[in-house]
Chains A and B, each alone.
Chain A
Amino acid sequence: MTAVKLIAREEWRMLARNRSGLIATGLLVLLILVAGFTSLESRSAIEADRTRYQASVDETFDAQPDRHPHRMVHYGQFLFRPIAPLAFFDAGVNSFTGNTIFLEGHRQNSANFAEARQSSLLLRFGQLTPAFILQTLAPLLLIFLAFASVAREKERATLKLLLAQGIGGRSLIAGKMLGHGAIALAVGLPAFALLLGFAATGAADWATVGVMIIAYACWLLLWAFASVIISALVARPRDALAILMGLWMITIILLPRALPEAASAQNQLATKIETEIALHRDLLKIGDSHDPDDPYFNDFRDEVLDRYGVRTVEELPVQYAGLVAIEGERLTTQIYADAAQRQAAREREQNAFVHTFSVLSPLIAIRQLSMTLAGSDPAAHQDFLDQSEAFRYEFVQRLNRMQAELLPEIGGEDPRISAAYWQEVPRFSYSPFNPLADRTRIIWPLLVLAGWLAALCVLALFAARRIGGVAR
């Protein structure tokens, strides 16, 4: 055991003398901090903007004059998606999803004004968040610090010396892994401190932050261990560097970009236009409320007359058109919901296809885990869309009921209800998405990361045996 510690300490001493290594480490830590604070700042600026917009559109809704309720159905409501607190750490897909949605009757509008559509292509180089630094750049640093760790000893023939002193291959590898593992965790420390600080202020819960830290710790250890092991398996430091750079390029740069193309080629999404046309056709299949001979709406009318115990529409105590609006909204919403679910399911299939490759490229696992925990993944966005759709249905039906119940008393050529009623119409209140609610989305990528670590440990044993063989 002491031999392991001794080797780790010796490794640290070596690294402390490596000036460029120290500078690179310092820069990376600085970069994490800069990314953390700028991202935190920009998140609060965006959040403040959206809160302000939401308040102002809610206010203008209340300030609308006396109107026919159906006019308010199309005046509609704007929603601005609040950003999850941890999204500063990992912006996830937030820049790629629209953040403003206009809700009105019998239409499902798209969420618009995604940042990526309003930015130059520069955005595609990546976004400056701690997650980007930890996922993309930190592995490179760990490679640079560790690629020579064992191969150097081989090249300088100090390895034989060590082995002759009675230090086993296992102790040697374990010591180097301990040394570089500790450095990996130290590199992650500022980011972890940022997360813990966030949890301490109550902005994020401890469990989420805890899992996030474990996930990134696994991720960083993985690269430190891989670097040491590859270094032990090859003859020269240069070869270790080349192999590790290749691994980094393939798993972090190439596969994450190439896989989505395969996923979208396999399983294409329908365009919004096709969906709209199909919906329109489905609706007409059910019935056309404007057609006096339409069987569906004739049945509906008879049922309504029965319910109120009257013989004609004119005798109804409520406005019949209002009831038709309520029924129509119910029908369209159902069809829209089905189509939206199909689309979401197809997107989930595409993503699941990419996620299965996390076995090959652990970046996919850490990326998925990180944005899930940060509340910036597609599921969190979908949750916002679901909440907004539920809310849309509720507020449109409230207005439709007002039309049915209040208009008969008012009558006249231009019936309007009092503006006071607008304040009774519900306002959207977003209930934050709990990333830990669906455990499977957390457990699977964690298992992948743990599996990688386990596989590396097995490989380390193999490398240790080979090194031990050198002495004999």
Chain B
Amino acid sequence: MNHSHSLWRAEASLLLRSNRNVLALILLLVLSAASVWSGIVQVQDQRATIERVEREQVRDLAAVEEANAGPEGEAGYNAYYAFMLTQDPPPPLAFAAIGQRDLQPYVLRVRALGLQSQLYDSETYNPELALPGVFDWAFVLIYLLPLVVIALGHDLVTAEREGGRLRLLLSLPGNGLWRRRVGLRYTAVLLAIGLPLIIGAMIMAAPAVSIATMILIAALYSAFWFGLAMLIGGATRASTTAAATMIGCWIILTLILPTLAQAVIARAVPVAKGVDLTLAQREVVHHGWDVPKEETFARFFVNHPEWRGQEEFEGRFHWKWYYAMHQVGDEAVAADVSAYRDSLKKRETMTKLLGYVLPGVGTMNVLHRMADTDIQGQLAYQDSIAAFHTKLRQFYYPYFFEEQAFDHSDFAMIPRYEPRSSGGTPPTEALAALAFLSLLVLALGSRRLLNAGREQGGR
């Protein structure tokens, strides 16, 4: 016990004696801390923005109420002018994996008009700032951690041979040496990447289980790279060659293959349906003015039979017809909407499949699904907006069809959007695939390392 303890201590001082190793570990720690801090700042900015918008919204709604609600108030005008706020606050893990939250709107106002012409509006963001991608913990883990592993692990065997110590080391009994050497480096890397995340999670009050899962993901991803380091380190003769080969692997796995795959997916799954459905919806809504009103009502009653028989009105215009026309416009493009969403989901699925073979992509997928900051999270937000929009319409219909006045008490009853309960669960399949891939490479790597040691040492 005491003996093994001192062996570990010796290994640790060996690890820390190298400037390069210490520098690499400190760099990883600093970058991990900086990314967590930057993620927290961004999440807090988003929260502050939501609060700011909420305050503005209260003032705006008050003005709309004053202008349109009252004993003589018409529901139609209120529904037309009262934009209702929906918001998607950052999920608890968003600080670690911001994902698409820098591009996708997290506040959106909708009114009782056609949803499909409101749902895809962009929020203002600076495209040039979005271009290089976000700087968050997920980025440090996926891109930079492998480089630190390469710095620490590429010369495990080769450095010993270059230093003329390999024969001596191999003459020692047991495999404990390599296990200690790799295990120590592995633990140091995990601590450097993981500690800032844990502190960040405490600040942001993120659920402990999720953070533990994220650390597990980091552990698996690091295991892959250490496995690769042993695999390559055991097969090459010079440290420089080993480093160059590993960097080559990193380039291929995190830069070249993902970009190639992105180009292939973008080609294979077109998403033009988004434009199609917008154009089609406009045609239906505007065409509504030129066709007999009975026709519009007939289509409206298919899904809203409860208002059948109340469509008659005097004159050219009535709010019930106007809003029915908008709803018919939405319903007419339902097939396009689901085709559009299917194309987005298909792109996600293809990326998920790619993650089964590319550990960087797999790690990205799992992290962002857990953080709920990927396309799926955005689609869920859109779903919740659509459900709210339905509630909003249903609220107004009695006022339109029964021609009730819209007083202040009615205004107070306009439904408000409740933020969806966000926070994804770790996708078990993808996590299992990542675990399989990482552990496989780790096992192969350690076998290769031991064999290589014996072969080369025996020479």
Residues in chain A within 8 A of chain B (CB atoms): 20, 24, 31, 38-39, 42, 49, 53, 57, 60, 64-65, 67, 71, 74-76, 78, 92-93, 96-98, 100, 102, 109-128, 132, 136-137, 140, 144, 148, 237-238, 241-242, 245, 249, 253-254, 256-258, 260-261, 263-265, 268-278, 280-281, 284, 343, 347, 350-351, 354, 377-378, 381, 413-414
Task: Give B242-273 as 1s and 0s: 1 = Cβ < 8 Å from A's Cβ atoms.
Answer: 01100110010011101111110111000110
**A119–B266 CB distance below 8 A:** yes
Asked, given contacts A136-B255, A242-B20, A271-B49, whether A261 binds B42 with beta carbons under 8 Å apart, the answer is yes
B35: nearest chain-A partner, CB-CB: A258
Say what secondary structure dominates the interface of chain A. helix
Asked, given contacts A116-B130, A354-B129, whether A137 binds B256 with beta carbons under 8 Å apart, the answer is yes
**A148–B240 CB distance below 8 A:** yes
CA distance A54 to B107 in the complex (A): 30
**B124–A265 CB distance below 8 A:** no
A20: nearest chain-B partner, CB-CB: B244
Residue of B41, B126, B127, B266 contacting most chain A CB atoms (<10 Å): B126
Besides A24-B248, A254-B31, 11 new A-B residue pairs in contact (Cβ under 8 A), listed by A number: A92-B131, A96-B103, A98-B122, A102-B117, A114-B122, A123-B262, A127-B259, A128-B263, A260-B126, A276-B109, A350-B128
**B129–A351 CB distance below 8 A:** yes
Residues in chain B within 8 A of chain A (CB atoms): 20, 31, 34, 38, 41-42, 45, 49, 52-53, 56-57, 59-60, 63, 83, 85, 99-100, 103-104, 107-109, 117, 120-135, 139, 143-144, 147, 151, 239-240, 243-244, 247-248, 251, 254-256, 258-263, 265-267, 271-272, 274-275, 278-279, 282-283, 286, 289-290, 316, 343-344, 347-348, 350-351, 354, 361, 364-365, 368, 374-375, 378
Interface pairs (19), CB distance under 8 Å: A57-B279, A65-B290, A67-B290, A71-B286, A75-B282, A93-B128, A102-B282, A113-B271, A115-B266, A116-B103, A121-B364, A122-B258, A122-B351, A137-B255, A140-B251, A241-B243, A264-B126, A273-B57, A350-B129
CB-CB under 8 A from A270, the residues of chain B are 124
CB-CB under 8 A from A272, the residues of chain B are 121-124
CA distance A365 to B251 in the complex (A): 23
CA distance A111 to B123 in the complex (A): 10
For the complex of A and B, list the 3 residue pairs with the smallest distance between their C-beta atoms, beginning with the closest. Answer: A260-B129, A125-B258, A93-B127
CB-CB under 8 A from A76, the residues of chain B are 282
**A119–B107 CB distance below 8 A:** no
A118: nearest chain-B partner, CB-CB: B271
**A125–B289 CB distance below 8 A:** no
Say what secondary structure dominates the interface of chain B. helix
CA distance A272 to B259 in the complex (A): 32
Asked, given contacts A57-B279, A260-B132, A354-B129, whether A271 binds B347 with beta carbons under 8 Å apart, the answer is no
CB-CB under 8 A from B130, the residues of chain A are 93, 96, 116, 260
Asked, given contacts A261-B42, A274-B53, A381-B127, whether A241 binds B374 with beta carbons under 8 Å apart, the answer is no
Nearest CB of A to B129, in Å: 4
CA distance A245 to B147 in the complex (A): 9
CB-CB under 8 A from B139, the residues of chain A are 257
**B258–A97 CB distance below 8 A:** no
CA distance A39 to B267 in the complex (A): 11
CB-CB under 8 A from A125, the residues of chain B are 133, 254-255, 258-259, 262, 361
Nearest CB of B to A278, in Å: 8
Asked, given contacts A96-B127, A109-B121, whether A265 binds B261 with beta carbons under 8 Å apart, the answer is no
